A and B are shown apart, each in its own frame.
Chain A
């Protein structure tokens, strides 16, 4: 029955309507929900019960790896690979290493932020079923969309559509897969 269908989507005029609709859908028992907005709406995180993301952990690991890389690189070069004796000063001159260690910490952390962002969002993804909705182009301009996905156990083509109609959207449409 739901074959070839990604879900049904309702279009709203304002972020407030969308947040209200998202809460109502959650209350109705729907779980496979997503909202599409032209700018970040903080309240949706709570309305859709989105999990805390693991990005900070990825960035922390990236940063630690960067710091270690920076320090070990300099240690290896100045102590092991290419030691230069300058008036008997110690080869392990760690205060001089601090700057490059710091820079590589930042560099690796920033790269892992961006890669982590893409990985957690599943991007790049040039094709997505939502793009099949003709009016979805407005999701990047001034419209707010709530999608109930077909994979939801409570999903039912007519039932879900008529439920979305009760939330007073501008329009409800089906999303072809």
Chain B
């Protein structure tokens, strides 16, 4: 078995971390970003944008609480509008973090070690943004706890046969498990920060958060078991979450939704947009903090390949969507796909096809994959495309379903946009706080990538 692993390690090992690093330099390079007193201009710029948009969000939500969901463009028959579009989009973005931290860990893909931390943080914050929308969309958001089964004086309980209730359980489980996985991963690094910081206050806070971690071999052996178990639990969980999200649509009989291929289609789309977000975050971060030695071109290349592969699955799903509509020989299914391509939402539809199917084809070229600027651009295009995909699926199917007399067109209002852009602000706000206060790269896992970490057996 040892031989097999050596063979696997060889090709990747040289490229996933630049040569010349030692345990000390790796630790210091990542820890200084947090422990330095000097905050770079890049951070203020990013945090400033995030904070401004967060204020927009708070304002939009305040107005929503005051005047109700009527400030959004949701009107019969399109009652889901932006809120559910944004929910599905954000949840999907989160999925790449869990994929990187859990699935790639189980598959022994060691290149993940330097990108898993911030990808997991991305998951957490994306889920936080996603969770906002169904709650705000409730109409009376302050009663959100009615979604959970608890003994109450009304004598009623949630309907456990409804996918919307499944969603509550899936998303809250996902958020909880992601948070725990992230925190467990942080513990050894919090101990490093506790031991490295010069400030008493920081030592106290990091010390409390590290829970007294001291790197004992006994602890490490339990810790390794725990990470593997959490990864094993998170893997089916992440696949189930977007499956359950897709059930919100497939269990309904609305033409354009009622389809058995939605779960894999949604999961692939989630990973697609998630990796786009990973690239969109990693490329500016590594440039701003000079982390090219740790987040190397190899990482960008691999992420781009995952994006290309999932993009192709999504492209296949678009084709199958049209095929099943035609093959069903059902007039409503025919019309649903026809309206999508030629109806009032045709520009959105063809623009999403251009973003999601045509643009990623450039990633076949090594030249494109090795140019961070181009990769950044293509990941933004994919993020826009995936948002449009969710928008078109939700809005166009609801706008024109069965009876022509009950059709209606959705028009987004400025409050729709304010809430959507506001959650991007919330995401950036949390993310920039994270990179300032916690190590954005898992220090102890990067140490294991160094050649010095290999035990040389010289027994006499």
| Residue B351 at the chain A interface, CB threshold 8 Å | no
Q: Interface-forming stretch among B10-18, B220-228, B369-377, B380-388?
A: B220-228
| Residue B342 at the chain A interface, CB threshold 8 Å | no
Partner of B215, one of A16, A36, A73, A82: A36
| Measured CA separation A39–B204 after assembly (Å) | 22
Q: Interface-forming stretch among B114-122, B309-317, B445-453?
A: B445-453
Whether B169 and A110, one on each chain, are in contact in the complex, defined by CB atoms closer than 8 angstroms, is: no
* A 120-146 binary contact with B (CB < 8 Å = 1; else 0): 110111111011000011111110000
Whether A43 and B455, one on each chain, are in contact in the complex, defined by CB atoms closer than 8 angstroms, is: yes
Whether B219 and A142, one on each chain, are in contact in the complex, defined by CB atoms closer than 8 angstroms, is: no
Which A14-44 residues sit within 8 Å CB-CB of chain B?
14-16, 19-20, 23, 34-44
| Measured CA separation A56–B457 after assembly (Å) | 30
Whether A141 and B196, one on each chain, are in contact in the complex, defined by CB atoms closer than 8 angstroms, is: yes
Chain A contacts for B155, CB-based, 8 A: 82
Which A22-73 residues sit within 8 Å CB-CB of chain B?
23, 34-45, 48, 50, 53, 55-56, 59, 73
A81 CB to nearest chain B CB (Å): 6
Q: Interface-forming stretch among B67-75, B139-147, B170-178?
A: B170-178
Whether B444 and A39, one on each chain, are in contact in the complex, defined by CB atoms closer than 8 angstroms, is: yes
Number of A interface residues at 8 Å Cβ cutoff, please give it: 66
Whether A142 and B212, one on each chain, are in contact in the complex, defined by CB atoms closer than 8 angstroms, is: no
| Measured CA separation A87–B448 after assembly (Å) | 61
Whether A15 and B455, one on each chain, are in contact in the complex, defined by CB atoms closer than 8 angstroms, is: yes
| Residue A151 at the chain B interface, CB threshold 8 Å | no
| Measured CA separation A138–B159 after assembly (Å) | 55
Partner of A126, one of B24, B160, B212, B444: B212
Chain B contacts for A118, CB-based, 8 A: 211
Partner of A39, one of B165, B177, B445: B445
Whether B217 and A38, one on each chain, are in contact in the complex, defined by CB atoms closer than 8 angstroms, is: no
Whether A50 and B217, one on each chain, are in contact in the complex, defined by CB atoms closer than 8 angstroms, is: yes
On whether A103 and B223 interact (CB within 8 A), knowing A19-B455, A126-B207, the answer reads no
A133 CB to nearest chain B CB (Å): 11
Which B116-132 residues sit within 8 Å CB-CB of chain A?
none
Which B407-460 residues sit within 8 Å CB-CB of chain A?
444-445, 447-448, 452-453, 455-459
Chain B contacts for A113, CB-based, 8 A: 180, 226, 229-230, 233
B262 CB to nearest chain A CB (Å): 15
| Residue A176 at the chain B interface, CB threshold 8 Å | no
Q: Interface-forming stretch among B81-89, B184-192, B270-278, B295-303?
A: B184-192
A-B contact pairs, 7 of them (CB 8 A): A77-B157, A93-B161, A103-B166, A110-B181, A114-B180, A114-B184, A140-B191
Q: Which residues of A contact B (CB under 8 A)?
A: 14-16, 19-20, 23, 34-45, 48, 50, 53, 55-56, 59, 73-74, 77-78, 81-82, 84, 93, 96-97, 99-100, 102-104, 106-107, 109-111, 113-114, 116-118, 120-121, 123-128, 130-131, 136-142
Q: A39-B453, A40-B448 are in contact. List 6 more A-B contacts (CB 8 A).
A: A38-B23, A39-B220, A110-B176, A121-B222, A136-B214, A141-B27
Q: Which residues of B contact A (CB under 8 A)?
A: 22-24, 27, 149, 155-161, 165-166, 169-170, 173, 176-177, 180-181, 183-184, 188, 191-192, 194-196, 207-208, 211-226, 229-230, 233-234, 236-237, 240, 244, 247, 444-445, 447-448, 452-453, 455-459
